Structure 1
Amino acid sequence: MTKPEISYCDIRDWLAGLAAAIELDQIRVDALPKERFPPQYDDGSWRLWRKEHLEFIARLLPTIDEIPPPTLKQIGRLAFKYESAVVNGILLGILADVASKDCAYEELTTAGLFLNELIRRVLLKGVPVAGDARDRITRWVPVTDPLGIAQDTECLYGVPSGCVN
């Protein structure tokens, strides 16, 4: 049986991968023809949304080495035990709260605090499953449309063809 171990490097790679997926998502959206977007689509709002997420991630990255070992251990257990889709929904909720300033933005100033909030929310709502922690953490956020913007009712431009999650 695989152990639920996640390293500081795994967290750094995961957050850097999330940032890269957000940047790639903007590039993909920029390449879509204008007719793919509904009239209510507000390009400026969604660019700002991605930018705010990227700024938040950039703020977390330098604090990864300060994550308390018990938090890292709990994230490993969480990645090992909880369904990726559930964690993804909760993660997107936290990111949306932070980007929209709906939560105490100043309270999630480090990677450790951010991960503790993720742990807290998943433990409240999640249903445990089995799996490999390192593999499961990479599934918490899809590569294509990582913030779920393409599925938002204001957008509905869909995932570009040829993309995978």
Structure 2
Amino acid sequence: MQKQMLRGSDVETMLRRLSGAIERDQIYVDGLPRECFPSVYDDTLWRDWRQGHRVFIGKLLASAHAMDSAQLERLTEVASRFVPEVVGRIMLETLAEIVSGSSAAGCETAAHFFDWVAGEVVRQGRGKGRSRSARKSIERWFSSTDPLTISQDPECGYPSLIDAIRAGRAALQQTP
């Protein structure tokens, strides 16, 4: 079975979804009562963190259409051969390094960024799996709720949207 190659439009769609998920996460957090947060929670820091990711994703979006076939082929290979959660974690770690300023890694374009991510996935060699659809795989590179996993940070501790949904369902099931 021949692999269906990723296209620049697939990368753009994934990046738009990620940016939208980050925006929805901020809207969700803005709607939480203050008592959901520990006293050390720094709203400005995390708001800037989300915004920094969205700004950088915007830069990647502006250049995703320029990825050449060799770059898309390499990304297709990584997306289809490695477990999506592993690739997504490495992608988000790379984004975090860039947004925090601790590493630019020469990743100012989508081609350079995804080349770096693919290289890191291959270098680490973890999460090899069975061959899968690259398009379906990139849809699973991040969660649609709390995609930057901010709620898991010890200084945040607020309930993630998925936790809130689960709690609401549990409460409804217990209602007589």
TM-score (norm 2): 0.87
Q: Deviations over 1:3-33 (max 9, x none)?
A: 2521111000000111000000000111111
The letter of the residue matching 1:112 is A
Moved more, 122-131 or 148-157: 122-131
Q: Which has the larger radius of gyration?
A: 2
| 1:92-148 Cα shifts (integer Å, max 9, x gaps) | 11011011000026x211000000110111001233112221111010011000001
Identity in percent: 36
CA contact (8 A) 2:8 2:66 kept: no
Structure 1 counterpart of 2:159: 158
Q: Give unmatched runs, 5+ long, in structure 1.
A: none
- Alignment partners' CA distance in 1, 2:159 and 2:116: 30
| Whole-angstrom CA distance in 2 between matches of 1:162 and 1:8 | 34
Is structure 2 residue 138 aligned with structure 1 residue 140? no
Matches within 5 A, 1:74-93: 74-93=74-93
Structure 2 counterpart of 1:42: 42
Q: Which residue of 2 aligns with 1:117?
A: 116
Mapped partners of 2:92, 2:155: distance in 1: 17
| Inter-CA distance 117–156: structure 2 relative to 1 (3 Å threshold) | same
Which letter maps to 1:109? E
In the TM superposition, structure 1's runs of 4+ consecutive aligned residues that sit over 6 Å from their partners are none
- SS class of match (2:165): coil
Unaligned runs of 5+ in 2: 167-176
1:37 and 1:157 in contact (8 A); partners too: yes
Q: How many residues align?
A: 162
Q: Is the 8 A contact 1:78 1:119 kept in 2?
A: yes
- Structure 1 residues 135 and 96: alpha-carbon distance in aligned structure 2, compared to 1, 3 A threshold: same
Root-mean-square deviation (CA, aligned residues, Å) is: 1.4
What's the counterpart of residue 21 of structure 2?
Answer: 21
State how far apart, in whole Å, the 2-side matches of 1:82 and 1:141 are.
14
Report the TM-score when normalising by structure 1.
0.93
Amino acid of the structure 2 residue aligned with 1:61: L
Partner of 1:61: 61
Moved more, 22-31 or 82-91: 82-91
Q: Give, in angstroms, the shift of residue 2 of structure 1.
A: 6.2
